[in-house]
Structure 1
Amino acid sequence: MPSSSPRRYRAKPASAGAAARDWAALPRDILSAVFLRLGPCLEIMRGAELACAAWRRAAVEDPGLWRRVDIDVGALASAGLRKGWGAMLRAAVDRGAGRCEAFSGPCDQELLLYLIERANSLKNLHLLCLDVPNEVLKVAVKKYPHLEDLELKYVSSPSDDMLISVCQACPRLKKLKLTFSPCFDEGYGDDEQLVLDIIEQGIPMMSELLSLQLFQCDLTTEGLASILDNCPLLESLHITGSFKYYEMDDELQAKCTRVKNLTIPKYSIHG
């Protein structure tokens, strides 16, 4: 009579080859592919390249890994890098050996000037937590006339027609996002006294612009009409803040309908 007790299986021991696998000896192209999958450069500089000397060489000597330098501000804080992040970002840009095409991260004046000198082929530029005077910022964007994607976060207000300056300097933009940092009038502490960036003048023709986002703005009907007239390919327009208008006539409403995704302030603070 056969036994009803279950059979017991023994796991096969790992082969000697698997146990002795030398991860440091992986081919350079495979290492590069793995590193690229790690995402932002923080994971490489603070993680993978610290594993061994071979991985360190692979990370430092391959410019292809650093075509995109992307540092999340929250990740910097989580890693305890509230200070010293500028040196790390400059090192990441250097590793690109002039091939860096995209940069995203916090930025002060020193880092911005370094980018102009060492990464002059950028197509995508996202400057977050900006600590740069407007005058310096205007000069800097003129160094990148071929930019396709630009984000400036926390531009100081009033911004001295920053929108117009950016459009004049970078006529090939496809995506533009500006977040203005509103100032409070002295002696007041409520939201009604915010000094917002005024969008009321004409902008130059932006024949390739597809997406425009403006945060914390004083929008006027003239400014809105200028944007719609001079951005013929615009698919997405998102503006927050206030909307000073006297009358939204049929012609302007018709222009608005040409934009697939349109968000503008609903209420006027005029008067």
Structure 2
Amino acid sequence: MASSSSSSPPQLEANETRNWVELPRDVMAMILHKLGAIHILESAQKVCMTWRNICKDPAMWRSIDMRNLGDLWSMPYNLEKMARHAIDRSCGELVDINLEYFVTDELLQYLADRASQLRRLRLACCSEISDEGLSEAAKKLPLLEELHIYLSPLSKVSLETVGRCCPRLKSLKFNDRGSRSSYVGCDDEVAVVIGETMPGLHDLQLFGNKMTNDGLQAILNGCPHLESLDLRQCFNVHLVGPFGKRCSERVKVLQRPYDPTDDYEFDTTVCDDDEDSFDDEYPSGFSEIDFLSDVDNDYEFSGGGSDYSDYGELFFDDY
């Protein structure tokens, strides 16, 4: 009996240390931020008043991550409205945002109007954005340092605007699907635009680009600070002889057209347009998806903008 009685106090003490509400605010903010914008807005901020107050702090929204959202066609959320609300919560302090699939020109404009301090912008698989939409946004983002674009229908038109309006740009990823075809035109114009308008680049990834050696030469001539260059699946580039040697000497980290793609997060299947088929020699892999089927409550906004007054009343009815 004495042994049982003496073990009780440590058990109570252990339980007390598991009370997350009593964690230091900065530690709790760091933990909550790792959940991502979706989980914060849909779940975490509803747990208690302390967590809700932390989640409303603009510092929590200096970096917004809305990638890997699961099956977009079956999710109950209006993701564009959710993104707008996340942007609003940053109160102009947003410096980094990561978006996939659901981005439109209107959302880009909304972002640009409210995030003039933005340094990093990542857009993936965004079929609803246009050259005009990205160009208009770039004009309002003069501090942009990193622009990463994956599998989106954009061209040299918007890249030229980005180059001329974002003089601090140091990292560009402008990636496509790898393709080998005897009749596919090259993308040297894109490379020339990069060389002419982005002299400050240190990091460049052109995965699946159709440019030739001429385009690569334009990049090397116009980007003297280039340290990292990823040319995987750029099958019209041939790094042989003196030219290949120059590239190796000129760039510290060089990934060649036929280098492995194991670390690339999107589909790496090579399209063979001549045969209307796919080349099985190359591994394929999609970005990892975190399905949210276990979330009980829908996150739906009614009305326009990001007015949260009705939602707040519903939330606090239980307190």
| 2:164 match: secondary structure | helix
Aligned residue number for residue 108 of structure 1 = 104
CA distance in 2, matches of 1:114, 1:57: 25
Shift of 1:261: 1.9
Aligned residue number for residue 214 of structure 2 = 222
**Residue 192 of structure 2, aligned match among 184, 188, 201:** 201
Amino acid at match of 1:77: D
Asked if residue 231 in structure 1 is aligned to residue 209 in structure 2, the reply is no
**Residue 243 of structure 1, aligned match among 236, 248, 268:** 236
Look at both structures and tell me which one has the larger radius of gyration over its CA atoms.
Answer: 1
CA distance in 2, matches of 1:265, 1:182: 10
String of CA shifts for 1:206-241, please: whole Å, max 9, x gaps. Answer: 443111011332212221111111211211111233
Determine if contact 1:243/1:264 at 8 Å carries over to the other structure: no
Aligned residue number for residue 147 of structure 2 = 150
TM-score by length of 2: 0.65
How many residues of Structure 1 are paired with residues of Structure 2 in the alignment? 249
Indicate the larger mover: 163-172 or 128-137. Answer: 163-172
CA distance in 2, matches of 1:118, 1:76: 27
Alpha-carbon spacing, 1:97–1:83, altered in 2? closer, same or farther (3 Å): same
Aligned residue number for residue 64 of structure 1 = 59
Determine if contact 1:155/1:181 at 8 Å carries over to the other structure: no
CA distance in 2, matches of 1:22, 1:250: 65
Q: Let me know the Cα RMSD of the aligned residues.
A: 3.6
Amino acid at match of 2:132: E
Alpha-carbon spacing, 1:196–1:45, altered in 2? closer, same or farther (3 Å): farther
CA distance in 1, matches of 2:196, 2:76: 39
| 2:229 match: secondary structure | strand
TM-score by length of 1: 0.76
Determine if contact 2:124/2:152 at 8 Å carries over to the other structure: no
Shift of 1:173: 1.3
CA distance in 2, matches of 1:163, 1:180: 14
Aligned residue number for residue 212 of structure 1 = 204
1:85-100 correspondence to structure 2 within 5 Å = 85-100=79-94
Indicate the larger mover: 116-125 or 78-87. Answer: 78-87
Amino acid at match of 1:147: L
**Residue 81 of structure 1, aligned match among 75, 83, 95:** 75
> More relative contact order in 1 or in 2 (CA 8 Å, sep 6+)?
2
Structure 1 residues without counterparts, runs of 5 or longer: 1-6, 184-189, 267-271
Shift of 1:88: 1.0
CA distance in 1, matches of 2:46, 2:13: 26
Aligned residue number for residue 137 of structure 1 = 134
Report percent identity of matched pairs: 31
Determine if contact 1:197/1:217 at 8 Å carries over to the other structure: yes
Shift of 1:97: 0.5
Determine if contact 1:76/1:85 at 8 Å carries over to the other structure: no
Determine if contact 2:113/2:140 at 8 Å carries over to the other structure: no
Determine if contact 1:125/1:149 at 8 Å carries over to the other structure: yes
CA distance in 1, matches of 2:18, 2:211: 63
Aligned residue number for residue 267 of structure 2 = none
String of CA shifts for 1:185-217, please: whole Å, max 9, x gaps. Answer: xxxxx9656566444535226443111011332
Determine if contact 1:144/1:170 at 8 Å carries over to the other structure: yes
Shift of 1:145: 2.2
Asked if residue 47 in structure 1 is aligned to residue 46 in structure 2, the reply is no
Alpha-carbon spacing, 1:50–1:200, altered in 2? closer, same or farther (3 Å): closer
Determine if contact 1:200/1:220 at 8 Å carries over to the other structure: no
Shift of 1:17: 11
Aligned residue number for residue 187 of structure 1 = none
Indicate the larger mover: 95-104 or 204-213. Answer: 204-213
Shift of 1:126: 0.7
Shift of 1:104: 0.5
Determine if contact 1:109/1:132 at 8 Å carries over to the other structure: yes
Determine if contact 2:132/2:158 at 8 Å carries over to the other structure: no
Shift of 1:16: 8.6
| 1:226 match: secondary structure | helix
Determine if contact 1:178/1:215 at 8 Å carries over to the other structure: yes
**Residue 251 of structure 2, aligned match among 244, 249, 259:** 259
Structure 2 residues without counterparts, runs of 5 or longer: 259-319
Determine if contact 1:172/1:207 at 8 Å carries over to the other structure: no
CA distance in 1, matches of 2:124, 2:136: 18
